[in-house]
Structure 1
Amino acid sequence: MIAIAFPSPPPTTAELETLRQEVRAFLAAELAHLPPRERVRSWMGFDASFSRKLGQRGWIGMTWPKRYGGHERSALERYVVLEELLAAGAPVSAHWIADRQSGPLLLKYGTEEQRCEILPRITAGECFFCIGMSEPDAGSDLASVRTRATPVEGGYVVNGTKVWTTNAHLCHYMVLFCRTGVQEDRHAGFSQFLVDMKTPGITVRPIADLSGEHHFNEVVFQDVFLPRSALLGKEGDGWKQLMEELAFERSGPERFLSSFVAMVEAVRALRDAPSDAAQAAIGRMTAQLVVLRRLSRSVAGMLQRQEKPDLQASLVKDLGGVFEQEVADIIRSLVAVEPSLGAKDELSATLARLVMLAPSFSLRGGAREILRGIIARGLGLR
């Protein structure tokens, strides 16, 4: 038998539960005006003013050093805040990427000047990041990207295109993953750069999703000059750094809580007279949710111990994506409503938005096929 080891998740404490209740009270007041059909957007909801309020409460950059605007709290305290934000469907998209992965990347590989200038703005909820990874001809196969940064006097010139770049039209910075060297093997010759989105030569073009909304973008680099100080870490170390970054992206509670608001609405609709089939289905979904949460909290503990949970994070992301996509179909089989964005019925409108969001759950953070390849390689199967 082949197994993937997940350490026991850290136990909860009275301090963590106190924090949880504090966050719940804050969200109950702040989101009282927001109906479920809006909250089901979960971490795709963009609201800069809400991010600033979280920053004022000290709930962004929670684990970072105080000298950079952080609060030096534990990864588990941060996890509690994330869980409550997602379960409530809070509009956290503005600061999400910066808090989750770009900030930690700068902490480890950025210059002191970059850390002092940018990190306090992130923790204040006033500086937003996007990710320049996927490309039109590469998708989730990041080893196939073609965007190149060519060394020139004083820095680099970048040419290429990135795609599915969430919130690029609203963000201040991008962490760009591109080629800088000869491709010795599939995972060599890459580097990462900190890119100011106001840099001349960058064009951002909207990509509408199934609902006609604008979250995604195509970002074109045409002879974009980046100073040498924009390089993050060492030239050629981009793949190693990228894998560290993706461990943060793939293991959090957003990988299984994106459908949670719709689950709550379904339970509310069924609670007065649930059929045996409905009770069984809700029970199965709840059990899956509990298991995924345990796995995800285990990875949070590994990250706090500065371990490298690449394999475990990929598994959480894959299992979570499957679960989140199944929720929409399960609810439709249990409740006699047709999904409709314009419906007066809140469950119908909430379900409609979830149905349109669900296809992206197995793409964002790495396509399902890519993740399963990582898992197979980690188990020695390929």
Structure 2
Amino acid sequence: MNADRGSDRADTEAEADTKADAEAVARLLPAPAEWDLPPDRHLRHKDRLMQQIDHDQQSTTAQPVTDPPARRPRLRRPRFFRPAVLLPATALALSGVLLATLAAGGDADRGPAAPAVGSDRAGGAAVLLNRIAAASMATDATPVRDDQFVYVRSVVRENEGTFEGPVQLGAPHRREVWTAQDPAPLTEVGLLRESGGGVHRSGPVEVGVPDGAPAGSGGVPAGIDRPTYTWLASLPTDPEALRTLLYERTRPADGETRDAAVFSRIGELVGETIVPPATAAAFYRVVAGIPGVTEVPDAVDAAGRHGVGITLENTGFATREEWIFDRESLAYLGSRHYIDKSGTWRRGDRVGTLSGVTATLERAVVDKAGQAPAKAASRSAS
């Protein structure tokens, strides 16, 4: 009988620990985005989440124990599972998709060490970015109607390492996104499908009404948090005017500089949308003026394509984000993410560990979500 009581008590304590773990992780998650995040943002927030959990756990361990053990929260490293489908609500999608990709695996595949970054932090990168801007201006503009969808197909490798261990890159998997262009406030803004490499997710991309929005507003309108082609075309193409707008509307996360936040935001806008040529050129000219932006002589995307890179160290997150462009056409190819020199907070990671990589393979305009693009309608990556 006493053994049974002890077993019941252990089960109750285990359930309480599990609930405490879930609550602790929920508190550590960054504020939910207002639409499903593109792969670049996923990779960035996963690294930030892991860093913050390590930091908070160390702080908790270092503090003297003043409360009775039964009342003190227990911040243990949780175990995660991979869901079968993408969770629909944005808050759940952020926690479910980001945490699910941290499932345990086998031997670590840390990827190649970070390549040498150009030493000329002003001249080299600024010259390259102005060349990229000129190439963007030379591309054909094909407007996207408000009743259509932008389709983007890409290849992604994400970190599947545990919190306790080093980065472990998963196998490449296919990602397809259909994004609605309707400027009206929406709660369902598109469709996401991911498959291959042990990843199988499919479902609508939904959004929650932003904090402070009037009751009954019904969703998120076209804007910086839900960029449509029409909204992008409405942006100023003068670099100084665009810089002012982006710095005013971009919200840095805790510990992030505004320069790094704007760099990441522009990376999202050019990475998984179709951008009008003049707007894309203005974006790259804004980046040319961000302090610390550097040229990378050789960069490789998730499809194995070599190109040149533009990178910026995010000192607040101890990470580095890199955009990759074709060496000849200067078209956008993809992105890479690294644990930076100050980011040795994860056990087993060496400086410059590759923590995620993407490759944009196709962009197109289609009439409905889930529709395969006609080959003639395909758009090259801008």
Q: TM-score, normalised by structure 1?
A: 0.23
The structure that has the greater radius of gyration is: 2
Structure number with the higher helix fraction is 1
User: Higher relative CO (CA 8 A, sep ≥ 6), structure 1 or 2?
Assistant: 2
Q: TM-score, normalised by structure 2?
A: 0.23
Structure number with the higher strand fraction is 2
